[in-house]
Each structure stands twice: as C-alpha cells, then as structure tokens.
Structure 1
Amino acid sequence: MTEPPFRRVVVIGAGLMGTSVALALRRSGVEVLLEDADPGNLRVAVSLGAGVPVTPPVSSGDATGGGPADLSDPTDLVVVGVPPAALGTVIAEALARFPAAAVTDVGSVKAAALADTRAHASAGPGLDRYVGGHPMAGSEQSGPLAARADLFDGRAWAVTPHVDSRPDAVAAVDQLARTCGAFPVQLSPGEHDEAVALVSHLPQVASTVVAGLLTTAAEGHLVLAGQGLRDVTRIAGGDPELWTQILSANAEPVARLLHEAADNLHRVAHNLEKRDAGEAGLADLRNSLERGATGVRRLPGKHGARPEAFSPVPVLLPDRPGELARLFADVGAAGVNIEDVRIDHSPNTPAGLVELWVHQDTVPALLEALAHHGWDVHG
C-alpha cells in the first residue's frame, strides 16, 4: 500500500474550499483534522467524512466522528480556508500554533493575504513556512454541503511563494495540489493577483452586472432565456459578502480591467448608435466581435488542447428518465469519447438540447452511431 503524502494535515475553515481539500486528502488516505468557528459547518464536514474535529463536539449526542483530536502529534501542513478578511490573522496564528508545519491557504487574493500575514506575524515565528495557494476551482454555491473530493481534479492550483518561503514549504504546497488532483502553477503573489483579476474577478463582475439587469426585466421576456444567458449569469449567484471581500482585496487590477472593459462597451454602443452613418461604424463593430472570438480561441481546452480541436454535436434529448444515460451509452459503444457536455432545457418543452463536444476526427463515427440508434441530431 502506498504511503500517504502527508502524515497529518490540519484544515482551518470547513466551508466549500476547506472541506473539499479535506475530502480530497482523505481520498488519498491522509489524516485530516478540522477546525471551524461555526459548529454547524464543522459537524457537516465531519459527517461527510472530511476529517475529525480539533475542537470538541457541541454535545455528546452530535455525530461528529468522536472527540477532539490530539494536537501533540506532528502536523505536516496547515491549510487555511477562511474568508479573505480573516486570512492574515488566522495564517499568523497557525504559524505560531504549529511550529513544525508548512502553512498555506486557499484564498483568492495573494498579495493582500501575504501583507496581512506579515503584519500579524512580524514578531512571531515561521513566516518562511508560509506559502500562498489558490486552487482555480469552486462553485457559485457555498458551505460544506457543496464540497466534493473531485472539485480540484484536473484544475490549476496557483502556488505563490514569497521571497522568504522555504523550499520545503513550497514543495509541501506543490504536493498538496497534486494530492488533491490539481496541477500546480507557480507564480509570485503579484503575478497571481494580476492573472485572477482577468480570468476570475472580472468575469464575476461582468456576470453580476448582466444578471442585475434581469431584476427589472418583464417576465415574458425572461421566458425566452436560453443557455447563453444562463452561461453568462451562472456565477452571479455567488455569495455577495465573500465577493465583496475578494474584490476589495484585489481592487486595483480589477478596477483597471473594468475601466478597459467599460471603454470597449462604450465603443460598441457608440458604433451601434451610428450604424446608419456608414460602413466605418459597422467595420469597427465587426472588429470588436472578431477580437472576442480570437480571445475565446486562446483559452486552453481539455488536456491543454486548443478548443478548435473539438466540435459540438447537438442532440435532441427527450425529457424522460434514463434518456441521458442511454445517449451516453450509445456514444460510448461507438468508441467516441465525450470531451464536454452542455444541456439546454427550454421552458415549457418536453425535450432539451444536449451539445456533445467531441474531437473533430470522431464526428463522422458519432453521427453514424447516433443515426443508427434513432437520435435526432440538430444542425
């Protein structure tokens, strides 16, 4: 039997991210201890099998998996998964409480977390054992009930050492990412914050702004909403308090990108307003749309492949139990691998449209198999 990569890991904060990290570690046989200021979150995380509590159960009748764990045994790593406003304080406390352990976090902003940790740990030991981390995965849902052991599988995990970070601490956080199924990407805290401002924080604000327009829309108009609108607005359902903290902590790069995006939106609006003034305005509008299409093509696809290597095959799916399973079985029997899948259920219809994304080379075989099994392929 393979030895676990860590003897013991303490996870402080049993929300979505902390509990998912704990579940992923338990999947690899790592002993995990859990802490959370909210007894309810702790009970749920323990009941999910994420670890055992460091703090005592609220009452002897609670199903928390036993009493508090003994902290006298060595701890290899501490993972801090608390809200951004509390990161610096909790990281500094963890460095003092666990003097032999590397300490990391799963916060969305790294420079502010490092500065806060320095402020709180300046007179204490072990800042060289702190290495920031940020798994690029999550959900618009929150809390331990939304946690999953496979949340990080195949996802990037930013590892953000500072100038004083010890190599063994960096290696521990790198190993944490790999143990949780992710692939580590090393960046400085500042580089990380610039990157996530574009790939995470700006999309959150854009999604929120579009979703906000729906609050005054006529109900009859919303009936027409398709998958495009749902895709754009899905992440707007995130926790407003959490996102207020995240955006405030990374305010400067996010504000800069918002101004740039706003300038581009104003340009598009101006071109639409002057569309009757000649071809110049339409050409400028077309250039804006083409630039967006070019940007999308730059995004890496599955396994790092370019997205243009995959093609969508739309299939009409009857709204009956077992139909999706039958479709997947027919595709698998044809020897075709589904790279991605999207489902669009239109209101008041007894069917949905499933987009099966497959490698371009397999499209002919897939179409033949679908026709053989009587599937209605659109497009």
Structure 2
Amino acid sequence: MRTALVIGTGLIGTSVGLALSARGVAVRLRDVDPHNASLAASRGAGSDAESQEPVDLAVIAVPPAHIAAAVVAAQQEGVARGYLDVGSVKSGPRGELASLGGDLSTYLGTHPMAGKEKAGPLAASADLFEGRPWVLTPTPATETEVLNLALELISLCRAVPVVMEAEAHDRAVALVSHTPQLLSSLVAARLEAADETAVRLCGQGIRDVTRIAASDPDMWLDILAANPDPVADVLAAVAEDLTETVASLRALASADGVERSEGGAGISDILRRGNSGRARVPGKHGQAPTAYQTVTVLISDEPGELARIFADAGQAGVNIEDVRIEHAAGQQAGHVQLMVEPRSAASLAAALRARGWAIRAR
C-alpha cells in the first residue's frame, strides 16, 4: 500500500491517517466538514488537497448510519482499488450497502477495537491501535486483494487482526462495548442531581465506572441506533439481575432472619459471578489476567515526580505492569498505585522507602 484516502477525519479516521503517514503511506483526507480535514492535515495525518488520482485503499470512517452511502459514493467515484469501513457495527451497514447496489467484492467491513472518551481530530494519535484487536468481517464475495489491503492496513497500524462473522461481531460489541457505555452513563446520571457533599466523596471507584460516560452523546446515539436489539438483549439480562439484587438488598434490611439470610446469599451470588466474569477479561498482551499486587506510593503534584518514581522502580529492577493515580480531594497530592508481580512487591516497597518515598500500608 502506497496511497490511501481517509473519508471522515474524526478520532478514528485521523488516527488511521497519522499511523499510515508515519509509515510512509501518502494519505489524502476528506470530510463533510472541511475544517476537520484541515485540522487533521495540520496534525500530520495527510493532505486535505483534492486529487482525482485513485488510491490503493479508501478507509470510510463515518458514523454507522452513513457508512453504506459513503462507500457507494466512493465506489461510484472510483477513488480506490479497495474500500473498508471502521464503524463499530457491521451487519446493518453491509446489508444496506447491498440494497443500495454497492459492490461487495471490493468492500470489507472492519472495526478497530480502540477509542477514547474524547472525539475529533485533536484527540487522535498514531499509536491508538497498537496491540488492539481489529475485527475483519469478510464474506465469500470479498476479493483477496481487498482482504490483503486490510491486513496491511492493520499491520501498519500495529493492531491485531481478528476475523469474525458480522452478526457475531455485533453481538460481541453489544456486550463488551455498547452496554458498558450505557451502564457508565446510567451510573453517572445519578450524580447529576446528587448533593454536593456526596459528590465530594467521589473516589477512584466512581471515576473508573464513569470514565466513559464523558463520551460524545451524539456519537453514541449513532452507534446504539445501528445495533439496538443486541444491546437491548444484554440490558434485559442485566435488568433481571438488578431486579433480583434489589430484592436481595431489601431482604437484608428485613427483621426476619431467614429473609436476611436469603438476601445475603443473593448478593454473594452476584458478587461471585462478577469475580468470575472479571477473571475472564484478558490481561497484559491479551494473556490470561494476572493477580498483581499493588504498592501504593504518596506523591506530590509536582513536575517530574512520576518520572522519578518510575526511574527508582527501574533502578530496583522491578517492572511496573500497570499504574493508577488516585488524586486526593482538595490537596496537591495523591496516591500512585503501582501494580507488580506479587514476588516483586516487597522488594519494590523496600527500595522506594530507601529512596525517600512514603509507602501506604495495605
């Protein structure tokens, strides 16, 4: 692949442009909003100058409701040898493309499993896809050349190709992406009218749960409108669990000992099922999750402090597997949680204490 056209210069499209440009591909950019294309070009994602020369691959990075029409228009214009989209829903746009008379042989539906709670070209980055799954949904009609172009794109973006049926993909993302977005928004919505005293008590747990609730509502409405039934199926199952959980909690408040016992059993069951499900979420590099041990360090909010703590950990010969920062409310300080292999926790804590860091006891 030497040339590409990115149609739609939001977060994903601009990130594709940045990744391809960084690896020597000549990228052209196009957007219904010329300002977005110009902004993406200014960041190095490609050129927003119009050209009649066909490219090797056209990447359609528009909302799901507009994918089919955008692909058909690009095919009729003859802008590329192959066409793929990067939308988060696959079966609907492909069916619509067929009904509009689009050429399924030169088209491939794909979905990079990467994103941010922020949208637009300013949020884009060349490394957005590194190590992330990138789903391909080929059909018997898909030309080998188009599949190879898609695989080359994924390689250039340093993502990991995963082949799936379109319908299976849509059910999967309903569970692991679309439903979590709604649940995060539902929890965050409880905070909208909450007493200020309660909001000031927010800790890392509520921040973790509500992080993606900061996403663009219009963008998510487009996504959910393209995949409503699978998401509704998952939410219906969650609603059943919620109903049972509410009943169990009410039982815990009962004066009847048997009812309290049954309520406790119900809550224990959902917590245990949560443990079991969480254990299936892939860990580092897609491997089975590892039970890391946390070393918590008090850190001041000053330039260079994070770099210094990582350097000290490196001097101790300990690899940091993951990190979180919990800010202290109303103070210029916080806690850095360093996740390490259990066998390294004690030596890291000792080494950091020796270098003057305050370690919080577990």
TM-score band w.r.t. shorter chain = over 0.9
- Report the 3-state secondary structure (helix = DSSP H, G, I; strand = E; otherwise coil) of the residue aligned with 2:207: helix
User: TM-score, normalization: structure 1?
Assistant: 0.91
Matched, 1:31 2:26: yes
Distance 2:143 2:175 in 1: 29
Paired AA for residue 33 in structure 1: R
1:321 to partner: Cα distance = 2.1
Q: For the Cα contact (< 8 Å) 1:75–1:98, is it kept in 2?
A: no
Q: For the Cα contact (< 8 Å) 2:58–2:79, is it kept in 1?
A: no
Q: For the Cα contact (< 8 Å) 1:127–1:164, is it kept in 2?
A: yes
Distance 1:315 1:97 in 2: 58
- Report the 3-state secondary structure (helix = DSSP H, G, I; strand = E; otherwise coil) of the residue aligned with 2:279: helix
Distance 2:24 2:342 in 1: 39
Match of 1:94 among 37, 61, 74: 74
Distance 2:125 2:311 in 1: 25
Match of 1:334 among 316, 321, 326: 316
Partner of 1:71: 52
Distance 2:82 2:346 in 1: 52
Paired AA for residue 98 in structure 1: G
Q: For the Cα contact (< 8 Å) 1:162–1:189, is it kept in 2?
A: no
Partner of 1:207: 184
Match of 2:205 among 228, 245, 256: 228
Q: For the Cα contact (< 8 Å) 1:95–1:130, is it kept in 2?
A: no
What runs of 5+ residues in structure 1 fail to find an aligned partner? 1-5, 55-67
RMSD of aligned Cα (Å): 1.4
Q: For the Cα contact (< 8 Å) 1:77–1:101, is it kept in 2?
A: yes
Matched, 1:53 2:48: yes
Matched, 1:85 2:80: no
Partner of 1:116: 96
Aligned residues: 356
Partner of 2:241: 264
Higher mean alpha-carbon deviation, 313-322 vs 198-207, is at 313-322
User: TM-score, normalization: structure 2?
Assistant: 0.95
Match of 2:294 among 312, 315, 334: 312
Cα distance, 1:47–1:363 mapped onto 2, change above 3 Å? same
Matched, 1:250 2:227: yes
- Report the 3-state secondary structure (helix = DSSP H, G, I; strand = E; otherwise coil) of the residue aligned with 1:163: coil
Q: For the Cα contact (< 8 Å) 1:95–1:127, is it kept in 2?
A: no
Distance 2:6 2:79 in 1: 15
Q: For the Cα contact (< 8 Å) 2:2–2:24, is it kept in 1?
A: no
Percent of aligned positions with the same letter in both sequences?
46
Q: For the Cα contact (< 8 Å) 1:316–1:354, is it kept in 2?
A: yes
Distance 1:358 1:304 in 2: 17
Q: 1:132-182, CA deviations, whole angstroms, 9 ceiling, x for partnerless residues?
A: 111111111111011100111111111111231122212211221121011
Paired AA for residue 376 in structure 1: A
Partner of 1:376: 358
Q: 1:229-279, CA deviations, whole angstroms, 9 ceiling, x for partnerless residues?
A: 011111111111111111111011100000100110111110000113231
Distance 1:205 1:86 in 2: 22
Distance 1:129 1:31 in 2: 21
Distance 2:47 2:80 in 1: 21
Q: For the Cα contact (< 8 Å) 2:64–2:87, is it kept in 1?
A: yes
Higher mean alpha-carbon deviation, 271-280 vs 24-33, is at 271-280
Partner of 1:278: 260
Higher mean alpha-carbon deviation, 79-88 vs 367-376, is at 367-376
Q: For the Cα contact (< 8 Å) 2:58–2:80, is it kept in 1?
A: no
1:283 to partner: Cα distance = 1.1
Paired AA for residue 320 in structure 2: I
Distance 1:340 1:44 in 2: 33
Higher mean alpha-carbon deviation, 23-32 vs 171-180, is at 171-180
Paired AA for residue 73 in structure 2: E
Distance 1:80 1:212 in 2: 33
Partner of 1:60: none
